[in-house]
Amino acid sequence: MINGKKVLFSGMQATGNLTLGNYLGAMKNWVTLSDEYECFYSVVDMHSITVRQDPSTLRQRARKLLMIYIAAGLDPEKNCLYYQSHVSGHAELAWILNCFTYMGELNRMTQFKDKAAKHADNINAGLFTYPVLMAADILLYQADVVPVGVDQMQHLELTRDIAQRFNGIYGDVFTVPEAYVGKVGAKIMSLQDPSRKMSKSDENPNASIYLMDDPDTIMRKCKRAVTDSEGQILYREEQPGIRNLIDIYSACSGKTPEETVKEFDGKGYGEFKMAVGEAVNSVLKPLQERYAQLEKDKAYIDRIIKENAEKADYVATKTLRKVQRKVGFPDRIR
């Protein structure tokens, strides 16, 4: 508990161009939950270097991502938005937790297997212990809840196992966190192949809507979205393309999929696709406008970065000192 509220932690990597999937699956829920919890949203740049990065691109993208957090509606005066690399406790706790995590557990992680296959020339130890750093992120802030998309559930289970193992040995040190997965939009699919998830690393630009796409591009991508020849707008497995568009429309307009189906009963695909494009634009336009404003205000963003890093560091250090004592490191002499 901080300020009488439960704690929420989540993070996103600053790699690639953010998609509508990232927004509807993760960021939109962050905004909804931000009043109820004391929130920490990190730009996890330390996770990014598990895959080779160009330094200046990484720096630019990290700053952009932080501004997108704000543009998406997270008030940086109320929510702690910060860079992971500015708080040294993440690396320090990760080291300790590495000594409480088994090789066998890390070997089972499907994201490691996928990324190792994708980057066969650089299977580094950081890629392997990535989930331990993620556990450290969450446990440092004693988070009660962690909103993520479905693909991160396995890492969250491991975090819970590590926390329980540590608590079993040393007493109640860590809060054991719960995952939060949203109801609508938890898995947005590719517009060109609705059997695959919309991903920022897709080579085909028509497969994803990017958060910074202009209105005409968004309309064009929606019009070209792969559907079927059934001719009916129904929410069912047999029509994965239409189902995905219903998910997108519902998530953007705040309706349930059932309400959307009713609204478009008897209408054609062309008309529906136009409505989807307009709904996406109505969500992304204000985000893009706020982002353009923020880009002009360097001093404001710099102040946010500095103040929030200090706030995060204060909370993180409190947990870290407790953990260091528990494992038997000597006290610091003041």
Positions that interact with ligand LTN (CB under 6 A): 9-13, 44, 47, 134, 137-138, 146, 148, 152, 155
138 binds, among ligand ATP, ligand LTN, none (CB under 5 to 8 A by kind): ligand LTN
Q: Which two tokens stand for residue 237?
A: 């497995």
User: Which residues contact residue 37 at a Cβ distance below 8 angstroms, ignoring those fewer than 6 apart?
Assistant: 5, 6, 7, 8, 144, 145
150/21 Cα distance (integer angstroms): 12
Q: Is 200 a catalytic residue?
A: yes
CB nearer to ligand ATP: give 51 or 301.
51
User: Which residues contact residue 8 at a Cβ distance below 8 angstroms, ignoring those fewer than 6 apart?
Assistant: 30, 33, 34, 37, 38, 39, 40, 143, 144, 145, 146, 147
Burial (0-12, 13-18, 19+ Cβ within 10 Å), 263: middle
Q: Active site residue: 200, 255, 311, 326, which one?
A: 200
Contact set for ligand ATP, span 157-216 (CB under 6 A): 186-188, 197-201
CB nearer to ligand LTN: give 12 or 242.
12
Q: Active site residue: 28, 64, 115, 221, which one?
A: 115
Question: Residue for token digits 């690399």?
Answer: 85
Q: Is 22 in the site for ligand ATP (CB under 6 A)?
A: yes
Sign, CA torsion 110/111/112/116: positive
CB nearer to ligand ATP: give 130 or 166.
130
139 binds, among ligand ATP, ligand LTN, none (CB under 5 to 8 A by kind): none
Neighbouring CB atoms inside 10 A of 43's CB total 26
Q: Active site residue: 28, 64, 197, 221, which one?
A: 197
Q: Is 306 a catalytic residue?
A: no
Contact 64, 56 (CB under 8 A): no
Report, in Å, the least distance between residue 14 CB and ligand ATP. 9
200 binds, among ligand LTN, ligand ATP, none (CB under 5 to 8 A by kind): ligand ATP
CB nearer to ligand LTN: give 94 or 305.
94
Sign, CA torsion 255/256/257/259: negative
Which listed residue (7, 8, 26, 39) binds ligand ATP by CB under 6 A?
A: 26
Q: Provide the CB-side half-sphere exposure for 114 (13 A, CA).
A: 4
Interface region with ligand ATP, contact rule CB under 6 A, candidates 73-81, 122-130, 144-152, 292-300: 144-152
Q: Which two tokens stand for residue 306?
A: 């500095």
201 binds, among ligand LTN, ligand ATP, none (CB under 5 to 8 A by kind): ligand ATP
69/77 Cα distance (integer angstroms): 12
CB nearer to ligand ATP: give 38 or 247.
247
Report, in Å, the least distance between residue 136 CB and ligand ATP. 17
323 binds, among ligand ATP, ligand LTN, none (CB under 5 to 8 A by kind): none
227 binds, among ligand LTN, ligand ATP, none (CB under 5 to 8 A by kind): none
58/48 Cα distance (integer angstroms): 8
Query: Cα 201 to the chain's mean position, in Å?
Result: 15
Active site residues: 115, 197, 200
Where on the chain is the footprint of ligand ATP (CB under 6 A)?
Answer: 12-13, 16, 19, 21-22, 25-26, 148-149, 151-152, 186-188, 197-201
